[in-house]
Every structure is written in structure tokens, then in C-alpha cells.
Amino acid sequence: MACQILITGLIARVANEQKDPLRFLTDFRDEIKAVVNGVNIAGEDIDRVRQVALRTVDELFSLMKPPSAD
């Protein structure tokens, strides 16, 4: 959980420094999902592991809110 919070904060920080933070986040999320879909997972129940990983990516990015108008 701590790693997820740290990574979320880091991604949000980088996004805030971009000209178009929402586009950056969308593109980055898509790249991370492509990595999860393409990574070689060893062991049993590979599909379940991949689905949990994809849900975790969605959860991380759902924590990020669009920048405020302030």
C-alpha cells in the first residue's frame, strides 16, 4: 500500500509539471496497462494475476484528480 501511495504521488508530481497533465496521465496509464498485458507472468492462475494487476493500475489512476482551477 505504501508503494502504491508513493508511486501515485510521484506520477501526480510529474503530471503537474506537464503542459497537459490529463493527457500525460491518460497516456501513461495506457502505457502501464500495455506493460501489464505484455509482461511474462510465471506460475499458476496467470489470468487472475494479470487482472489484479490491471485493477491495481486502475485504482492508482482513479486516485488522481484533475488539477484545480485555482
pLDDT of amino acid 68: 59
Is position 15 within any domain? yes
Q: Is residue 68 part of a domain?
A: no
* 67 within some domain: no
* Number of separate domains in the chain: 1
Domain annotation covers residue 31? yes
For 32-67, how does the pLDDT look when each residue is reduced to its tens digit (9 = 90+)? 899 989 989 888 899 999 999 999 888 888 877 665
Does residue 7 sit within a domain? yes
- What's the pTM? 0.71
Q: Would you say residue 28 lies in a domain?
A: yes
Q: What residue numbers bound the domain in which 39 lies?
A: 2-62
**Residue 40 corresponds to which cell in the numbers above?**
511474462
pLDDT in tens, 3-38: 777 887 788 888 888 888 888 888 888 998 999 899
> To 5 degrees, how large is the angle CA 39–CA 54–CA 11?
90
Positive or negative torsion for Cα 30, 38, 5, 19: negative
Task: Decide if 23 is inside a domain.
Answer: yes
